[in-house]
Amino acid sequence: MDGTTLTLLIAGIIIVLGVTAGLVVTSRRRALRGTSKPELEKTPEQPAGSAGTAVEDREADTATRPDTAPAQPETAEPEVVQPETEPAVVEQPTVEKPEAPESRLVRLRRRLSGSNNALSRGLLALLSRDKLDEDTWEDFEDTLLSSDLGVNPTMELVEALRDRFKVEGISDPGQARGALREELIKIVDPTLDRTLGTVRGDHPAVVMVVGVNGTGKTTTVGKLARVLVAEDKDVLLGAADTFRAAAADQLETWGSRVGVPTVRGAEGADPASVAFEAVKAGTEAEADVVIVDTAGRLHTKTGLMDELGKVKRVIERQAPVTEVLLVLDATTGQNGLTQARIFAEVVDITGVVLTKLDGSAKGGIVIQVQRELGVPVKLVGLGEGVDDLAPFEATEFVDALLTQD
């Protein structure tokens, strides 16, 4: 083999070895690129953990980004803060302190004073006359009758006064006024028990409030709640007037103003069921008094009156009804007495609330209602104010009638 051939053979071997080496290097580089990519992704995300923690780490990383961080606090914060701020806004600032019963009686006397009431004016005119002749006594009778005092009470009062004036020789206006005051107090009857049945026993005291439409029944319930709250009683209201859509809302508004809860049902629900649930809730909450507002109804509608009796019976499955208050409009006169008789037959009235007993009313209705029903007037409504409901007292009432402005 000559030198040229040997040289070509060596060169060929070198080329083959070079190509082979290049292929090996390329293969190794490709292998390295194929395995390094997952390792690089895993190293910063989960250096010591398993593949399952990668998602958690990525979520944590996302939560710290400036562009996404406000999203969760903004939506979560109102849900936590709202319940905490609601009581401060709704309950504390809006809960009112009702007026004490004593100051209400002062307003009672002022509202019923001489110049504002027909009966007052008639009585004071009698006292102002120099001579009490037969014409004067007849005018006096007419005044009493026109003031809804009733025939029998009028005759009793006039006869008693005539006897006293004759026997005692009363001629002085001051003496006449004193005699009239004493006889009026007798006929109003201060011996009647006018306390409300609101003393808690083993169960809450339960007060049912009944009456015809338009007498101010739901408003009276709200005002009564204020009277009881002023006496430091825990009160719960039952909105059993389910026929009038606004009744429950109205009652709830009255209650919220003095921090008193209201139990209500759906519109058109069974009133007896709502009353039952209200008394049940009052029992569970250990309330002192549960006041149940019933739907206004015409005394001539037998079905509605029967339903009222049902409400009372259903309530008594939970607790005794300690008070049934009939709300009467003092301006309705004889029609109010007719209503009173029917209601008394159905639900055993224990007391009367006379609304609108101010300048437009005839004060004699107080005496006639008591005579007709045999139950006392316990509360009187004196106007449109939230605290214009006062306990009735015979002496205060008579003194108000005889007060000259």
For residue 188 the two structure tokens come to 């109003």
Which residue type does 157 have? L
Is 258 in contact with 99 (CB distance < 8 Å)?
no
Is 97 marked as a binding-site residue?
no
Is 294 marked as a binding-site residue?
yes
| Spacing of C-alpha 170 from chain mean position | 53
Q: How many residues does the chain have?
A: 405
Is 213 marked as a binding-site residue?
yes
* 332-365 exposure pattern, b = at least 16 Cβ within 10 A, e = fewer: bbeebbebbebbbebbebbbbbbbbbbeebbbbb
Q: 188, exposed or middle or buried, with CB in 10 Å at 0-12, 13-18, 19+?
A: buried
Is 195 marked as a binding-site residue?
no
Is 355 marked as a binding-site residue?
yes
Q: Which residues pair with 327 in a beta bridge?
A: 353
Is 366 in contact with 79 (CB distance < 8 Å)?
no
Token match 């490709």: residue?
30
Is 293 marked as a binding-site residue?
yes
Element at 321 (helix H, strand E): strand 321-329
For residue 177 the two structure tokens come to 């006024």
Long-range contacts of 133-140 (CB under 8 A, 24+ apart): 137/162
Is 57 marked as a binding-site residue?
no
Is 356 marked as a binding-site residue?
yes
Is 297 marked as a binding-site residue?
yes
| 111: CB partners within 8 A, 6+ apart | 357, 358, 359, 382, 383, 400
CA 5 – CA 28 distance, rounded (Å): 35
User: What are the Cα distances from residue 90, in Å, to 94, 224, 402?
Assistant: 6, 22, 45
Question: How many CB atoms sit inside 10 A of residue 156's CB?
Answer: 17
Is 290 marked as a binding-site residue?
no
Q: Which residues pair with 309 in a beta bridge?
A: none
Is 166 marked as a binding-site residue?
no
Token match 């301006």: residue?
331
Is 216 marked as a binding-site residue?
yes
For residue 318 the two structure tokens come to 């939970």
Angle at 329 between CA 327 and CA 334, to 5 degrees: 110
Q: Torsions phi, psi of 291, nearest 5? A: -105, 120
Provide the annotated binding site for GTP: 211-218, 293-297, 355-358
Binding-site residue numbers are: 211-218, 293-297, 355-358
